[in-house]
């Protein structure tokens, strides 16, 4: 007989007429990658979840603790070859595959009545033409784009609670959107002169080996990449225009830096009117008053080391009145708030669990 925490027992609500389950069963597809391993780590400490299946075709047959020894004596699962029939008995499926793969399997999961959180980019953009331009492939599940919900909890909490398909935001967009949405909605900055400068650790590129991501190539260097062509540009722009209801014009430049994990984003935007740092901080504090994972720094500068291995986004601001410029700095862990942690946060909202459950250790 299972011993359940009372924190996982819920009363009926308007979304599901029955009682909430004491626990839900979940599966992870693509569980051997960095984001998949981070999901395993977080879900293993979640009191309201049982991991039933972990799929990783390239590692099928290996125990999880063979591929990731940190899970010894913690995780007794074995990676399996994925098939849609293997998810029977599962309530929610996390898809942690590279963009381009999820759209081939998500439709069959939804048709089986599974709720899905996709950590890739296949369902983030509503416009097929934008997806095909920036991801450089045809979209084979475009009929599901309209029903996907963009999984930024601080903005879409109510829609997330009702969704069957969540498009988990990209890591760069998470840091940029959380920084920009409050000041755009409150008309603190102009929507047409925005520069986003982001730096990411190398884990953001995934676990597959490549020469350009080797230690010797990356160490003691910084380089920009996909300048003007990055697939997260239309994601950031589309969400901002949807949230604000107007045109937004921005320049986004990502950089690779020699650290394992973390994103540092600095944003430069034109102020509409004179404002103080204090008043600008109040805009952020008011907007995120009920957001458990956004921390506004009243003094000091955000640092990646303060968010690594956490689901927090730290935001700081500086006002340059001489140049009518607002400077916003934000930091996240790209594998947690930028991927697996945010996915678990979305799951908590979908199933009525406490939003912080599993994410505070």
For residue 7, what pLDDT is reported? 52
Domains of the chain: 6-169+339-350 (3.40.50.720), 172-334 (3.30.360.10)
For residue 216, what pLDDT is reported? 73
Q: Between β-strands 165-167 and 115-118, what pairing exists: parallel, antiparallel or unpaired? A: parallel
Q: What are phi and psi of 199, to 5 degrees?
A: -125, 135
Q: Which of 8, 171, 313, 325 is catalytic?
A: 171
Q: What is the pLDDT of residues 44-53, one digit of tens each?
A: 999 999 999 9
171 part of the active site: yes
For residue 22, what pLDDT is reported? 74
3-state SS of the chain is: CCCCCHHHCCCCCCCCCCCCCCCEEEEEECCCCHHHHHHHHHHCCCCCEEEEEEECHHHCCCEHHHHCHHHCCCCCCECECCCHHHHCCCCEEEECCCCCCHHHCHHHHHHCCCEEEECCCCCCCCCHHHHHHHCCCCCCCHHHCCCCEECCHHHHHHHHHHCCEEECCCHHHHHHHHHHHHHHHCCCEEEEEEEEEEEECHHHHCCCCCHHHCHHHHCCCCEECCCCCCCHHHHHHHHHHHHHCCCCCEEEEEEECCCCCCEEEEEEEEECCCCCHHHHHHHHHHHCCCCCCEEECCCCCCCHHHCCCCCCEEEEEEEEHHHCEEEEEEEECCCHHHHHHHHHHHHHHHCCCCCCCCCCC
Q: What is the pLDDT of residues 130-169, one digit of tens each?
A: 999 999 999 999 999 999 999 999 999 999 999 999 999 9
pTM over 0.85: yes
Residue 92 contacts residue 347 (beta carbons within 8 Å): yes
The pLDDT profile of the chain, 361 residues, written as one tens digit per residue, is 333 344 554 433 433 333 456 799 999 999 999 999 999 999 999 999 999 999 999 999 999 999 999 999 999 999 999 999 999 999 999 999 999 999 999 999 999 999 999 999 999 999 999 999 999 999 999 999 999 999 999 999 999 999 999 999 999 999 999 999 999 999 999 999 899 999 999 887 666 656 667 777 888 999 999 998 899 999 999 999 998 999 999 999 999 999 999 999 999 999 999 999 999 999 999 999 999 999 999 988 999 999 999 999 999 999 999 999 999 999 999 999 999 999 999 999 999 999 999 999 7
Structure tokens, 84: 């849609």
């Amino acid at each position: 007989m299972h011993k359940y925490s009372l924190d996982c027992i819920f009363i009926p609500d308007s979304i599901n007429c029955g009682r909430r389950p004491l626990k839900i069963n979940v599966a992870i597809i693509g569980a051997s990658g960095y984001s998949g391993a981070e999901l395993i780590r977080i879900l293993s400490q979640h009191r309201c979840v049982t991991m039933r299946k972990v799929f990783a075709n390239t590692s099928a047959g290996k125990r999880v603790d063979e591929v990731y020894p940190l899970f010894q004596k913690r995780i007794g699962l074995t990676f399996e070859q994925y098939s849609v029939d293997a998810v029977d008995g599962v309530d929610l499926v996390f898809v942690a595959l590279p963009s381009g793969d999820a759209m081939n399997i998500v439709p069959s999961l939804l048709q089986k009545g599974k709720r899905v959180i996709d950590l890739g980019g296949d369902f983030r953009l509503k416009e097929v033409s934008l997806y095909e331009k920036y991801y450089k492939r045809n979209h084979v599940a475009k009929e599901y784009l309209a029903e996907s919900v963009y999984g930024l909890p601080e903005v879409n909490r109510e829609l997330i609670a009702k969704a069957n398909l969540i498009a988990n935001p990209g890591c760069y967009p998470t840091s940029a959107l959380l920084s920009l949405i409050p000041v755009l909605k409150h008309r603190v900055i102009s929507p047409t002169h925005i520069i986003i400068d982001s730096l990411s650790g190398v884990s953001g590129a995934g676990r597959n080996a490549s020469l350009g991501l080797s230690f010797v190539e990356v160490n003691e260097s910084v380089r920009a990449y996909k300048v003007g062509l990055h697939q997260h540009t239309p994601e950031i722009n589309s969400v901002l225009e949807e949230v604000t209801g107007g045109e937004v014009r921005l320049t986004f430049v990502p950089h690779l830096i020699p650290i394992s994990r973390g994103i540092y984003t600095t944003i430069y935007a034109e102020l509409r009117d004179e404002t103080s740092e204090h008043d600008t901080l109040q805009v952020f504090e008011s907007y995120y008053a009920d957001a458990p994972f956004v921390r506004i720094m009243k003094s000091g500068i955000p640092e990646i080391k303060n968010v690594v291995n956490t689901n927090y986004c730290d935001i700081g601001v500086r006002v340059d009145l001489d140049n009518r410029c607002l400077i916003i700095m934000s930091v996240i862990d790209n594998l947690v708030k930028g991927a697996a942690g945010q996915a678990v946060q979305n799951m908590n909202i979908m199933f009525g669990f406490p939003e912080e459950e599993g994410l505070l250790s």
